[in-house]
Amino acid sequence: MAPTDVNFGRASRTALKDQQLRANFRRAMDGLMSKRAVQFADPKEWHAMRALGASVRVRALSKLPELLEQLEANCTRNGITVHWASTTDEANAIVLKIMQDVNAKLAVKGKSMVSEEMHLNAFLEKHGIESLEADLGEYIVQLDHEMPSHIIMPAIHKNTKQIAHLFREKIKEAEYTEDVAQLTDLARRVLRKKFMNADVGISGVNAAVAETGTLCLVENEGNGRMVTTVPSVHIAVMGLEKVVEKLEDVPPVLSLLTRSATAQPITTYVNMITSPRKEGEKDGPREIHLVILDNGRSKIYADEELRHTLRCIRCGACMNHCPVYTRVGGHAFEAPYPGPIGSILVPQMEGLGKRGELPHACTMCNACVEICPVKIPIVEIMGRLRQEAVHPGDAVKDAGACASMAEALIWKGWAVMNSSPTTYRFATTIAAKLGNAAPASLPLLKEWTSVRSKPRFAGRTLHDLAREKGIPDA
Amino acid sequence: MQTKGPDNVYFFGTCLVDLFYPQAGMAGMELLKREGIRVVFPQGQSCCGQPAYNSGYRDEALKVARAQVALFTEDWPIVVPSGSCSGMIKTHYPDLFKGEPDEAQAVAVAGRTYELTQFLVHILNVKLEDKGEPVRITWHASCHAQREMGVLDEPKALLRQLANVELVELKREKECCGFGGTFAVRHPEISAAMVEDKVADIEGTGAKAVVSGDCGCLMNINGALDAGRKPVKGKHIAEFLMERIHGSH
Amino acid sequence: MPDARAAILSRLRASRDAHPMETVASDFTVLKEKRCSPAERLERIKQMMEAVHTEFIDASDQDWPTVVQAFLAKEGVRTLLYAPATEAGGRLASGWGEGGPELVRYDRTVDEFKEEMFTAIDAGITTTLGAIADTGSLVLWPSADEPRLLSLVPHMHVALLKADALYDTFWQVMTENRWAQGMPTNALLISGPSKTADIEQTLAYGVHGPKRLVVVVIK
């Protein structure tokens, strides 16, 4: 199910033609932005919280190897089995073995972006295991055989009518209804049966605490608690960067996460899991497995500048505020992580050869930088990846894959022209006199003039006018 | 903040102003000169280097940036009629020149760079008298001006001084217009969608003109306004202010 | 996979040692400063939780079992799952009158009566460790005697909250009570009945967890 032929240009053009999609996204992003603003209405508190959040994440990254070891030691001591996977193939194999060891036929899943990275559901299905998404948004996109289009609100691209039709079509006992309460109730009935009967529950991890060996999960629906409590086996998958050092680091991170993601001071449930069912306890899984996934993160960690990508707490605020994401939606990115974080993370995970265009899916407006709760220098990293895409090097997978002799020469020429007053004057004089005659069909001008008039060169430049007016040169 | 201005300032016009909006550059310099400042326009200037920098060609950007830095030999403020170009110099030159032999000069230049309205409001505290006819306008806040140079209210503070100017705010004043430098030609359809929304927002205000501090934005918005045969015109704030204080509009 | 573990850790260590990261000390002042007066705490908790459809009823330390029974009977609740081995469970059972919901004992593992729990239990009752004013959240520490499914599977969750067990922030309750020294199998914050906004951002209550959360404030 992993797309092999990704093309952001093509996918975004398709998305732009879908007026319903554009309307859905515009409305949804507007709502998310204004609600978030209410949560962070006090600028002093916002600045203090994000400074704290950034310091917690940076501290964790600064000690990453030690904290992962500490996490493993404490989890193990608590009875949680820890597994390590360098690649998504390894992670999938680990999950499969755990499931085959208990003869699992049905898994129920909480929302996990890492599991999307792994294409876990498709993998399990290939091996005859049903993996059912239990988060309502994920359940909806799974019914429609789609990828989520947003990391927090997976079905944000659909409106109620579309969901009503989908349920009627795909759920056996469903009658057609556009009443949200009824649709929700239907999902509740269907999924509760599954929670009861599932062999294995799969979840992600919002924050793993090294100090205590605790896995923290946030959610509103209750499916996360269901999948981590009812089945006798719980498998948690996490990216290796999701560890925090101390238990006290959790409240600020969760506060920033929930307020940035869904504009809630807190989610309905905060679930902190430290061990499987102990002797004498009456419920909970008998086995808990934690799968720690690399999948390119250790390479990202190797670079001093790029490693700050790993601060991300997956709140989704960046995509909510991104004018490009708002226009094209999540599917245009053809990746588990869309929007600004996707444009910097996915090329580093999958390589610039396949994903070299994503860092250019950005006007560098900095709206994302302004609201990132852990102060990731997103636009700086975007620029760095643009550079890596066209220059060979070791820092990023497939660096230089987008290098073009023609483009390089153009910029070299541009540099020559602009670094000498004489050549600059020569070039601008010509442009000023002849530029307006350039046909609109020229490359670059063609793209520009598809919706705009050609820019008009002024007959005389500012240099000319300043000189004529006698403005001093020194 | 000094309330009395400096004796001399450099003016860095920017390449877009140079080629497409030289009148905005002249207006910017005039606004400074009428406060009694000696404005110096080094003829050797060209471009801040941002186009190459944002396209991933740092070496080429550095080559051009260093040629600019070399021009500003005196310890005078550098005033720029653009949020994105002043942002490039102020926030990116220190990083671009890191480890370079002229790093110290570049950092010094960055430290003395101002966006035009910033300089007019905070350093010069200019007072403007409106001699023009009543007009309704709206303001487009360029992304780099807001988010790299921290210019938020300064332009509107200047516009609000004009008694006959009715300033109506855009519904999405802070949203990117879709220019993004090479983005406009690299992803023209997305850029088009963004500028179309901006134009609709502008039309919704009933304004006769949209004023902005950035010529990249203006080129983009004006191009779309013109192609759509809209009666609204986009103007650089320097030009607009000069027209109002001379009553020429 | 021991290979993966060693490979990952050595890569991370080498990268970090080659380029150590500068850190800034974490300043928790902003959390420490989120305080309200004891009198305001309960008011704020009620306000925040009621905003997300939580229900509150008042009771005293003497009469809460009667209050709970009367409430549940009025709401047509037929079965109430409870923890018989806890002090509160004992009080509930001994204070339970004639009529009203049938008390069901959670005194065996869930595996022995899972289907019944999912299909034939209307409400579950638990104690709480307290509540948090900043976020409007109950704190639960399930135990061997008071299992966690009590607050998840039944369609209604009744939570007993002592009016003097109130905290200002999540950070405060965890640091004051030194949670880091020993976490239970499962610790929970619960801030309302279950909900979702996944269908066109329209709020709907009662998705997978309880549809109703009833907090009994015991003064």
**What mean pLDDT do residues B37-62 have?**
97
Percent over 70 (pLDDT), chain B = 98
Which pair of tokens denotes residue A232? 């006798």
Which pair of tokens denotes residue A452? 């705009």
Q: Is B7 left (phi over 0), alpha (psi -120 to 50) or beta?
A: alpha
- Chains B and C make contact, 3+ CB pairs within 8 Å: no
Nearest Cα neighbor of C93 from C68, C118, C128 is C68
| pLDDT of residue A1 exceeding 50 | no
Beta bridge partners of A216: A207, A272
| pLDDT of residue A273 exceeding 60 | yes
Percent over 70 (pLDDT), chain A = 99
- The distance from CA A333 to its chain's CA centroid, rounded to whole angstroms, is 10
Q: Is A84 on the interface with B (CB under 8 A)?
A: no
Query: Is residue A16 a contact partner of residue A22, using CB atoms and an 8 Å limit?
Result: yes
Which chain B residues contact residue A424 at CB under 8 A? 46
The kind and range of the H/E element at A126 are helix A120-126
What's A48's DSSP letter? H
Query: Is residue A203 a contact partner of residue A234, using CB atoms and an 8 Å limit?
Result: yes
B27 shares its domain with B74: yes
**What mean pLDDT do residues C37-55 have?**
96
Domain range for B101: 8-123
Where among B123, B143, B173 does a domain terminate? B123
Q: Which range (A185-194, A225-234, A364-373) has the least confidence?
A: A185-194
Residue in chain B closest to A15 (alpha carbons) equals B190
Which chain C residues contact residue A267 at CB under 8 A? 191
- Chains A and C make contact, 3+ CB pairs within 8 Å: yes
Q: Is C31 left (phi over 0), alpha (psi -120 to 50) or beta?
A: alpha
pLDDT at position A2: 54
pLDDT at position B2: 47
CATH number for the domain whose boundaries are A1-39+303-403: 1.10.1060
pLDDT at position C1: 54
Stretch 376-415 of chain A: residues touching chain B, C-beta under 8 Å:
380, 383, 385-391, 408, 411-412, 414-415
Q: Is A369 on the interface with B (CB under 8 A)?
A: yes
Q: Is B150 left (phi over 0), alpha (psi -120 to 50) or beta?
A: left
pLDDT at position A442: 81
pLDDT at position C100: 84
**What mean pLDDT do residues A47-57 have?**
98
B119 shares its domain with B193: no
The answer to whether residue B1 sits within a structural domain is: no
Nearest Cα neighbor of B139 from B81, B25, B228, B218 is B218
Residue in chain B closest to A22 (alpha carbons) equals B193
B117 shares its domain with B144: no
Which chain B residues contact residue A464 at CB under 8 A? 22
B117 shares its domain with B143: no
Sign of CA dihedral B114, B118, B120, B124: negative
| Other CB atoms within 10 Å distance of the CB of residue A404 | 10
Q: Which chains sit next to C, with 3 or more Cβ pairs under 8 A?
A: A
Number of domains in chain B: 2
Secondary structure, 3-state, B73-139: CCCCCEEECCHHHHHHHHHHHHHHCCCCCCHHHHHHHHHCEEEHHHHHHHHCCCCCCCCCCCEEEEE
Q: Cβ separation of A136 and C196 shorter than 8 Å?
A: yes
Which pair of tokens denotes residue B149? 């140079």
Test the B interface: residue of A462, A463, A464 with most B CBs within 10 Å: A462
The answer to whether residue B31 sits within a structural domain is: yes
Summary mean pLDDT of chain A: 95
**Every domain range in chain A assigned CATH 1.10.1060:** 1-39+303-403
Kindly give the pairing relationship between strand C55-59 and strand C212-218: parallel
Sign of CA dihedral A312, A315, A320, A324: positive
| pLDDT of residue A215 exceeding 60 | yes
| pLDDT of residue B191 exceeding 50 | yes
What's A397's DSSP letter? T
Beta bridge partners of C162: C218
Tell me the pLDDT band of C2, cut-offs 50, 70 and 90.
Answer: low
| pLDDT of residue A70 exceeding 80 | yes
- The distance from CA A279 to its chain's CA centroid, rounded to whole angstroms, is 40
Rounded to a whole number of angstroms, the distance from the CA of A292 to the nearest CA of chain B is 34
What is the spatial distance between Cα C57 and Cα A452, in angstroms, rounded to a whole number?
64
Nearest Cα neighbor of C89 from C125, C113, C58, C116 is C125
B88 shares its domain with B34: yes
Q: Which of B144, B148, B186 is the closest to A360 by Cβ?
A: B186
Query: Is residue A258 a contact partner of residue A206, using CB atoms and an 8 Å limit?
Result: no
| pLDDT of residue A461 exceeding 80 | yes
Cα distances from C196 to residues A61, A151, A221, A301, C166, in angstroms, run: 33, 15, 6, 35, 27
B206 shares its domain with B236: yes
ipTM for this prediction: 0.97
The answer to whether residue B193 sits within a structural domain is: yes
Tell me the pLDDT band of A3, cut-offs 50, 70 and 90.
Answer: low
Q: Which of C30, C52, C202 is the closest to A48 by Cβ?
A: C30
Where among B103, B123, B143 does a domain terminate? B123
Q: Cβ separation of A192 and C199 shorter than 8 Å?
A: no
B119 shares its domain with B140: no
Q: Which of A163, A221, A304 is the closest to C207 by Cβ?
A: A221
The answer to whether residue B3 sits within a structural domain is: no
B108 shares its domain with B213: no
pLDDT at position A173: 83
Q: Cβ separation of A229 and C152 shorter than 8 Å?
A: yes
| pLDDT of residue A150 exceeding 90 | no
CATH code for the domain in which residue B164 is found: 3.40.50
pLDDT tens-digit readout, A344-401:
999 999 999 999 999 999 999 999 999 999 999 999 999 999 999 999 999 999 999 9
Nearest Cα neighbor of C85 from C60, C63, C105 is C105
pLDDT at position B1: 47
pLDDT tens-digit readout, A317-330:
999 999 999 999 99
**Every domain range in chain A assigned CATH 3.40.50.10420:** 67-295
Query: Is residue A307 a contact partner of residue C23, using CB atoms and an 8 Å limit?
Result: no
Q: What architecture is the A67-295 domain classified under in CATH?
A: 3-Layer(aba) Sandwich (3.40)
B118 shares its domain with B149: no
The answer to whether residue B2 sits within a structural domain is: no
pTM over 0.80: yes
Which pair of tokens denotes residue B226? 């013109």
Rounded to a whole number of angstroms, the distance from the CA of B105 to the nearest CA of chain A is 17
Q: Domains in chain C, start-ordered, CATH in brackets?
A: 45-218 (3.40.50.10420)
B75 shares its domain with B95: yes
What's C192's DSSP letter? S
What is the spatial distance between Cα A262 and Cα A31, in angstroms, rounded to a whole number?
10
| pLDDT of residue A48 exceeding 50 | yes
| pLDDT of residue A97 exceeding 50 | yes
B161 shares its domain with B89: no
Which chain B residues contact residue A412 at CB under 8 A? 60
B89 shares its domain with B186: no
Q: Which of A68, A84, A277 is the closest to C4 by Cβ?
A: A84
Residue in chain A closest to C141 (alpha carbons) equals A272
pLDDT at position B203: 97
Q: Which phi and psi angles does B207 have, rounded to 5°?
A: -75, 150
pLDDT at position B249: 53
pLDDT at position A441: 81
